[in-house]
Structures are given as C-alpha cells and as structure tokens.
Amino acid sequence: MITHRSPISGISAHNNRYVATAGYDNVLILWDAETKRSIARGCHDHLVNQCVFNGDGKYLASTSSDYTTRVWKIPSMQIQSILTGHTDDTEGISFHPTKELIATSSRDATIKIFNYNGQLIKNLKGHELDVNSVEWMKNKDVLISSSDDGTVKFWDYESGEVIRDLSFDEVDTDTIAVSGDGTIFAGNYEGEIVIISEEREPINVNAHKAGIKSLEYSEKQQKLISCSYDRSFKIWNYKDGMLHLEANHQFDNMVWPRSCAFLNDSEVVFGTFGNKYAQFNLKTKQWADNNIECTYGYNAVWESNGDIYTIGDAGYTFKNGHKIAEVGSLCNFIIDFKGNIITGGQTGEIFNAETGEVYYQHSNPLNCAVNFKSNGEDALAIGTYNGEAVVLTIDKNGSVQYENTYKFHENAIKGIAASEESIFTVCAAGVAAYHDVNTFKSQKVITDGHDKIANGAVAIGNGNFASTGRDLKLRIWEDGKVKVVDTSHKNSIKCISSDSESLIALGDYVGFVSVYDMKKDAFVAHMRVSDFGISSMTYDTTRKLFIASCYDGKAYDIELSK
C-alpha cells in the first residue's frame, strides 16, 4: 500500500468518502475514507504543504515548496493543470465556492487567482511578508488572506483591491477559516482565535497556550476545530456570534497540529509525523487504530568523542547507526551537554536521549540548542517555538537541572550559537539578537538580520557568528558588522555548521551541501548528497569533516577534495 515516507503536513476530506494527505516526501496521497487504504498518488518536485478538495469533490489541489500549485482529477489523480508564477513556496489554497477559480498564497508575499486550466487571472499584491492562508468568502467574490506581517486583508475579486485591512500589532496569523455567514476566524501566534465580522470590531478569544497552527470550520455542525502547538485541539460551537468551548482534547504524540479536517459529523482527521493520517472520534473520544508507522527521517546529528548521534521524526536515538533509545517524541536537535546527550522537539519535553529521562517540560516545541559558559559554569540554552530560551545547568551532584527561561524573541528561535560573551540567535521573523551569557540581558537586536525566515546560526570562532535561512544568503557577523555572501542554493537553506576556524557548511531542503572557506572568501564545494532535504550538520573534530543528517534517514560524510 502507498504510504508516506515523511511527515504529513496537510490534510483534506470530502463527504466521508475521500481523505487526501500532503507529505514532506513530495507526495500527495488519495485515501478511501471507509477502508483507510490509499487509492492513488501524485507527486511534486519538493515538499507538499497543503491540499484541499473543491466543492463537489471532482478536483483536488495541492501547494508545494516547488513554487507550484497542482490540480488533480479525482479519483484518478491525473494532472488537470499546474499553476505557476509564484517565486517562493506556495502555502494557502482555496477553491471558489461557485466558480472555477482557485486562489493560492505564497511566501513570496503575493496571492494569485487561476482558472482550473492554469491560466493566471489575477495577481494580488499588498502583504509585506509571507502569506500563509487564503480563503474565499462563501457568499461573495471576496478573498481573505492572513500573513506573517500581522494583517488579515479582504480583497475584491473584480478590482483586485484591498477593501478591508486589519492589523494585529504584527502578531502572525497562520490560519483562517470562514463560516457561511461571512464570519472569519483567524488563529494567531499567541494562541488566540480572532473573530472577525462586518458588524463589529474583532473579538480576541484566548484559546490556547501556544500558537494556533490550523483552524477548520464545519458549516453543517457550526463547529470550529482549533489545533495548537500546546498539544491540544479544541472543539468550539459557534452561536450568536461567539465561540463556546465544547471539548478540549490532547493530541497523540504522533499528530502534527499543522492540519485537520472534518471527515463527518463525529470524526476528525489530522496530519501526523507518521506514514498515515490520524483519526479521532468526537463522540467516543477515542483515536482510531490506523496502524500508523513511524517515518524515519533524521532531524539532527551530533558528534561526540568520535561517536555519531542522530534523532528525528520517530524519536529514536541512534548511536553510530544503532538504535539505543526511544524518547516518544519527534525531536529537532541532539547535543552533548557534559556527557549527557540531550534532545527535544515537538512535545516540549527535554530528554536524555540515551535514557529517555525528562529533565523539563516546556509549553512549546523545541528547535535548537547550544553549550556555553554562564558565570563560569557549564550551561545549555535551548531555543523554542515561542521565542524563549530554556537554560539548563549542572547541579553540585553532576546532574542536569532546569535553571530558568528567558524571552529572547517574539517568534520561534530557529538558530542559536554562543561565544564567551554572547548568545547569538536568529528567529522566524528574520531578526538576529545578542544576549549576555551571564545576565541573559539583550546586548543588540538586528531587526533586519535576514530578509526572510532565518533557519540556523553557528559560532565561527573569535567571538563571531554566521547564520543562514530562506533568503539563500550566508551572513557572517564579525566585530559588530555583517557580511552578506550570495550562495548557489536555489531552495531554502535549512542548516549551518562550522569547524570554528575557516570552513562554514550549509545544507538546503533539496539535499545540496555547500562549504564556504572564510580564508579564501569563496565557496570551495557545492554538491548534492540526497534527493531529500538536509536537516542538520555538525563538524566531526576527530575525522576533520562535516556530517549532514538528512530527511531520508541517513547521515552523510561531507568530504572535501584535497
């Protein structure tokens, strides 16, 4: 049976008959909802981000990091059309309720409207940053979009102009849903659902303890589902212009809160970190047994005393290629902290990667970590989804202990590095920051550190740093100044590493690795090591080479020609 090899990012359902899943393995799968077996699949050239059925279920559309949107005939999964023109990842997608029109949104900050044959009808510009979601109003030719610029905009289809523009103090809105009466629900980074209607000012509902990643509204039931990185999903009744909480459920650790869909009146489906979708019965409050198996992509790699540690989607810790532990959560980083191998990720738990012991439970997912000295003592800082740094230390008995949590950014910390004086971080808003290693107070903030989402940071020696991200640049931060270096990468650069002397290595989402030599002021290598993306890189001080972990579940030695 066809299943996914990487996590499921997007999901859609139609009429209790079909389920479609969008995977980070570049594959879109159509499933029979009754048998839960796959029927057919389609492929993109890069990650598939979201998918949605049209009203009568005859077509399915998918957005992708290959910059295209593809329209598929159902159930054959034959290509109807390929929608092109965006210059960055396509994310949001919406079929017009009555006309053969498709709206797409992209990280290039634009919205485009196509017909079913792929002809571009309108190109809408007005957002300043990535446009995450787009939805048609149910009863008029109006589009609603939400963006990382903290705005929700209403667009008139005929004129292509913005007819209403709501700003939410630069708070990101990742997802929107629309009811039949024209009410808009927007889920934001602070865990709020914003209710937007024409008759009154927006109402903010405190819904979750972490950012809301997906909203789904059922017109038939007049219910809203909200999914959050606080590991919960809530069911809300929409009545008399307000949301009333009906139920609060916890996610299984396999579920990715990024997407959900109503399958029928009593069941909801979700994307997962596994090879199939998850299904929950709202009446029995039970998860269906879908025989979901782990996907085995590596998200992180670390070298310690000649041993290579890797971990990823399945939460399995590998040492030199042999599984030694299961921590029970997708993990995003792995690091040696004074002989303790530390990891963490989606659940917010900080684990000992070899024993599974939990040192601390954070409220949000964990992204990255760095060793440093604070007031002369060993410390570990972990960057989190909500912009905080969780600090661990070693107690007098030699055990790992939680020390404190500090707010460094308003957005997710994507990269973290340290010198003798500073902790250097970059975040999802492209901001770079320096914080004092002893007091954790801000030393310097560079709001325009990167032009797009920053993904990684590394110390390069002599108190200096380097960073990279979606803008395809290498930035070298030396002596209070930044040097911007163009790269040969064509897709978002995911990770960065250094030998702390001269070499800086970069890995991107389509499997390319490049190496920059600071002494030569030039790139000395550019190679493709996998068809899957590079998730993490580390420098092996014993063998004097870089190691790249990959979403294909392998780790690759990066050997430079002499």
Confidence band of 199 (pLDDT split at 50, 70, 90): confident
Would you state the structure tokens that stand for residue 233, as one six-digit string? Answer: 């999903």
The CA–CA distances, whole Å, from 274 to 17, 261, 318, 344, 432 equal: 22, 17, 18, 18, 33
Structure confidence at residue 231 (pLDDT): 94
Least confident residue range of 128-137, 172-181, 296-305: 172-181
Architecture of the domain whose range is 82-287: 7 Propeller (2.130)
Structure confidence at residue 530 (pLDDT): 95
Q: Which region holds residue 173: left if phi is over 0, alpha if psi is between -120 and 50, else beta?
A: beta
Domain edges within the chain: 82-287, 298-556
Rounded distance between C-alpha atoms, residue 499 and residue 492, angstroms: 22
Q: Which region holds residue 16: left if phi is over 0, alpha if psi is between -120 and 50, else beta?
A: left
384-399, pLDDT tens digit by residue? 999 999 999 999 999 9
Would you state the structure tokens that stand for residue 360, as one six-digit string? Answer: 């601390």
Q: Which residue has the tokens 């430079």?
A: 560
80-97, pLDDT tens digit by residue? 999 999 999 999 999 999
Nearest to 188 by CA among 157, 229, 156, 153: 229
Confidence band of 526 (pLDDT split at 50, 70, 90): very high
Would you state the structure tokens that stand for residue 53, as one six-digit string? Answer: 């059925």
Rounded distance between C-alpha atoms, residue 409 and residue 433, angstroms: 8
Sheet containing strand 493-498, edge to edge, reads 493-498, 503-508, 512-517, 522-528
* pLDDT higher than 70, residue 562: no
146-195, pLDDT tens digit by residue? 998 889 999 999 999 999 999 887 677 889 999 988 899 999 989 999 99
Rounded distance between C-alpha atoms, residue 313 and residue 48, angstroms: 17
Least confident residue range of 164-168, 386-390, 435-439, 519-523: 164-168
Q: What share of the chain is helix, strand, coil (3-state, %, to 5)?
A: 0, 60, 40
216-252, pLDDT tens digit by residue? 999 999 999 999 999 999 999 999 889 999 999 999 9
Q: Which region holds residue 182: left if phi is over 0, alpha if psi is between -120 and 50, else beta?
A: left
45-62, pLDDT tens digit by residue? 999 999 999 999 999 999
* pLDDT higher than 90, residue 139: no
Rounded distance between C-alpha atoms, residue 115 and residue 101, angstroms: 5
Non-local (6+) Cβ contacts of 157 within 8 A are 101, 113, 122, 141, 142, 143
Structure confidence at residue 45 (pLDDT): 94
Structure confidence at residue 499 (pLDDT): 94
Q: Is there a contact between 534 and 555 (Cβ–Cβ < 8 Å)?
A: no
DSSP state of 179: -
Rounded distance between C-alpha atoms, residue 42 and residue 48, angstroms: 10
Nearest to 187 by CA among 219, 151, 222, 211: 211
Would you state the structure tokens that stand for residue 476, as one six-digit string? Answer: 């070298």
Non-local (6+) Cβ contacts of 532 within 8 A are 6, 25, 297, 511, 550, 551, 552
Asked whether this chain's domains 82-287 and 298-556 adopt the same fold, the reply is yes
19-35, pLDDT tens digit by residue? 999 999 999 999 999 99
Average pLDDT over residues 286-311: 95
Q: How many CA atoms lie within 13 A of 401 on its CB side?
A: 8
Nearest to 370 by CA among 361, 379, 358: 379
Would you state the structure tokens that stand for residue 442, as one six-digit string? Answer: 């801000």
How far from the centroid of its chain's Cα atoms is residue 501's Cα?
A: 32
Rounded distance between C-alpha atoms, residue 462 and residue 36, angstroms: 56
Structure confidence at residue 170 (pLDDT): 67
What percent of the chain stands above pLDDT 90?
A: 92
Q: Is the domain defined by 298-556 classed in CATH 3.40.50.970?
A: no
Least confident residue range of 17-26, 188-197, 268-277, 376-385: 188-197
Structure confidence at residue 326 (pLDDT): 97
* pLDDT higher than 80, residue 561: no
Rounded distance between C-alpha atoms, residue 482 and residue 251, angstroms: 42
Sheet containing strand 79-83, edge to edge, reads 48-53, 59-64, 69-73, 79-83
Is the peptide bond preceding residue 75 cis, with omega within 30 degrees of 0?
yes
310-351, pLDDT tens digit by residue? 999 999 999 999 999 999 999 999 999 999 999 999 999 999
